[in-house]
Structure 1
Amino acid sequence: MSVVIHDNAACGDARPTLSVLMPFLRDDPSDLLCMLDREAQGVGGRAELIVLDDGTADPALTARLTALIDALSLPARLITLGANEGRSKGRNRLAQEARGRFLLFLDSDMRPDHARFLADWVDLAVNDNPAVAFGGFSLLQAPTDTRYAVHRQMAARSDCISADQRTLQPEKYVFTSNLLVRRDVFDTESFDAGFSGWGWEDVEWAMRVSRRFPVVHIDNPATHMGLDTVEALTAKYEQSAPNFARVAARHPDFVAAYPSYRVAKKLKAVPGLRMIRPLFKQVARLGLLPPALRGFSLRLYRAALYAEAI
C-alpha cells in the first residue's frame, strides 16, 4: 500500500502534549482543522494535528489539504493512504504516528462547540492525567434538514447526554468521535483490527480498557455534523450486526445490560422474524410519521438484525 506523509513547517520541532488524531474517508476535514487552528496561540505548542486520509483517492482533495496543512499554525501532518485499511487499523496507525503523551481521537465530521475546546482537553491532560476521558457530543450545530429528522431524534435521545448520565455506564458511552486516551493505556489496549465495516469497535475497546483503567466522562462537547438519512442508517446497522455479535461473545456481562441486546434476545424467539424485519424498515422510511415513531421502528429493525447475529 502506498503511504504519503506531508508535514507542515511547524511540525519538525514540536513537542506536543496532545496529539489530535483525525481519520477520514471521502470527507473534507478542512473546516474542523481551521476551527482547531484558531486555538493555536492558546495551547502554546502543546498540541499537534495528525490527519489520515484512509484511501479516499481524490488528488484534488489531497492537494487542497496539503496547502491547508502548510498554512496552519499548529504542527500538522497529513497521511494519505493509497487504499482503505478500515476504522480500527487507521486509528491504530494514527496512534503510532502521534508524538503526544495523550491522544485525542476526533472524527472529521465533528465541530467544537466552544472556543476553548482544544485548550480544555490539554488542560485536563496536564492537570488530571486521565487514563481515558470522553467529552460527549451534541447536535448544537448539526443540520436541521427534514431528511435527518429521524437520526437527530435518535441521537438526542440516546447519545447526546450529560457526563453525569454517561458515567452510569462509562464503557457504553465511549466513541472515537471525541475521545482522550493516555498513550500508555493505548499501548496496552489498541483497537481490534478484526472488526470490519461500521460500528462497535470503539465500545468494545472501552469494555476492555474499563476492566483495567478508569474511564471518566466530562462535558467538553463537539457537534456531530454527520447526521444520516434513514437509508444510510439502515445500511450501517446491517454492517454492524456481525460486530455486535463479536462484542456480545467477548463481553456478555456488559452487553447483558444494554437495551439493544435485551430486545434482540426477545425478538430472537419471535417466529418468522426474518419476514417481519423488513416491515420495521418500511415504517422507518415513512416520512409522514413522527420522527420518534420512525426512530422506534428503526431501533426494532436494528434489534432484529442483532437477534439473527447473536
Structure 2
Amino acid sequence: MLSILIPTYNYNAFSLVEELNNQALATGIKYEIIVLDDGSNYFLKENQKINELDNCSLNELSQNIGYSKIRNVLAKKAKYDWLLFLDSDTFPRSSSYISNYIKLITKNKKVVFGGIEYPKNKPENDKLLRWKYGKKREVSSLSNRIKKPYNSVFVYNFLIEKTIFSSILFDEKIKKYGYEDFMFIQNLKLKNINIYHCENTVFHLNSDTSDVFLTKTRTALKTLQFLFENQNIFYIETKITKTYNILYRLKLVATISRLFQKHQNKLETNLKSKKPSLFILDLYKIGYFCLINTK
C-alpha cells in the first residue's frame, strides 16, 4: 500500500516518525516508513530509536549524496506502490493526516500535494528571514494552488504513485542544493501529469538561521546557473531567469553585478536583521545571479 519516505540530515526525525507510525498503525493498512540519513554528524543516537518502531527503519549513508539522489534511492528501496515523501523537519497538522491520504489513494489520485504551513509564532531574530520567506513566498492557499497546480509545490508532503515517480526521477546531475523540486515538478508538467491539491498540511519547522539561509540561497542560484547553461531550461522560466533575460537584453547584467558587489554587505545587514525585507532579498538574488554569470 504505502511507503513513507523521509530523507534526513543533521535533524532529529524520531518525533515525526513516531507520529506517522501511530497514525499509519491506526488505519490498518500495509505500510513502511524508511528514513535515510544523508551522512549526518548529529542526532545519530536519537534517530537510532526509529529502528525500534514497528514497520520503521533507519538507513545511514556514510557520505552525503544530496537532495536529488537520496530521494531516488528512497524510492528504489520502497516496496509498496504508493510513495509519500516528507522532509524530517516537518510535522503533520492533523491526527488524520495519513488516513486523509489513504482516502485519496482509494479514489485513485496519482499525484497529490497537501500543502505546507509555518508556525505562527515568530522565531528568534536570527531565524526571521527563513520564517518570513516561508510564510510569504512558499505557503499558498488551496484555491491558489488549484488555479496554478504546478506552482508552490514541493516534493515533501507529496504523495505519488511509484510507477509515475520511477518514470521521471530526480535529476542526479543536480549535485548541490536548489531547484531539484522545481525540475521534478516541471517534468510532471511536461508529461501532462496532473497534480491533485488538497488541504492536508504539514508544518515546516525549518530552523535555518538567516546566515545559513543566505548561504543556501547562493548555492541554489549556482545550481540555477548550471541548469540555465547546461540543461536547456530556457523554456522553463523562473522569476530569476525571466528578470535576468530582461537585464541581458538591456545590456545591464554587468552594471547590476557591479552594484551588487558594492552593496552586498548592506543588503546582507538588512537580511540578517530583526526586520528582513523580502524585496531586499529579491534584489540580492538577482544581483548575485548577475554576478555569477559575469565571471
Give the structure-1-normalised TM-score: 0.83
Shift of 1:308: 4.5
Match of 1:84 in 2: 64
Are the counterparts in 2 of residues 230 and 284 from structure 1 also a CA contact under 8 Å? no
Match of 1:277 in 2: 260
Q: Give me the whole-angstrom Cα distance separating, in 2, the residues matched to 1:309 and 1:250.
A: 18
Q: Tell me, yes or no, if structure 1 residue 64 matches structure 2 residue 46.
A: yes
* Aligned positions, number: 285
**Percent of aligned pairs with the same amino acid:** 24
Q: 1:304 to 1:115 in 2, by over 3 A?
A: same
Q: Tell me, yes or no, if structure 1 residue 131 matches structure 2 residue 113.
A: no
Q: 1:304 to 1:285 in 2, by over 3 A?
A: same
Shift of 1:163: 2.4
Residue identity in the other structure for 1:299: D
Match of 2:225 in 1: 245
Provide Cα deviations, 1:179-199, integer angstroms capped at 9, x if missing partner: 111111011110000002111
Q: 1:254 to 1:30 in 2, by over 3 A?
A: same
Q: 1:198 to 1:142 in 2, by over 3 A?
A: farther
Match of 2:77 in 1: 97
Q: 1:288 to 1:141 in 2, by over 3 A?
A: closer
Q: 1:288 to 1:230 in 2, by over 3 A?
A: closer
Residue identity in the other structure for 1:190: L
Residue 88 of structure 1 aligns to a residue in which SS? helix
Q: Tell me, yes or no, if structure 1 residue 35 matches structure 2 residue 44.
A: no
Match of 1:189 in 2: 168
Residue identity in the other structure for 1:296: F
Q: 1:165 to 1:281 in 2, by over 3 A?
A: farther
Give the structure-2-normalised TM-score: 0.87
Q: Give me the whole-angstrom Cα distance separating, in 2, the residues matched to 1:254 and 1:35.
A: 38
Q: Give me the whole-angstrom Cα distance separating, in 2, the residues matched to 1:289 and 1:83.
A: 36
Q: State which drifts further: 296-305 or 21-30.
A: 296-305
Q: 1:254 to 1:281 in 2, by over 3 A?
A: farther
Q: Give me the whole-angstrom Cα distance separating, in 1, the residues matched to 2:25 and 2:8.
A: 26
Please point out which of 153, 165, 178 is paired with 2:157.
Answer: 178
Q: Tell me, yes or no, if structure 1 residue 26 matches structure 2 residue 1.
A: no
Shift of 1:276: 1.8
Are the counterparts in 1 of residues 257 and 290 from structure 2 also a CA contact under 8 Å? no
Residue 235 of structure 2 aligns to a residue in which SS? helix
Shift of 1:281: 5.3
Match of 1:234 in 2: 214
Q: 1:309 to 1:164 in 2, by over 3 A?
A: farther
Please point out which of 113, 130, 140 is paired with 1:151.
Answer: 130
Residue 104 of structure 1 aligns to a residue in which SS? strand
Q: 1:246 to 1:28 in 2, by over 3 A?
A: same
Q: 1:47 to 1:290 in 2, by over 3 A?
A: same
Q: State which drifts further: 184-193 or 145-154.
A: 145-154
Provide Cα deviations, 1:263-291, integer angstroms capped at 9, x if missing partner: 33344424432232242553342366733
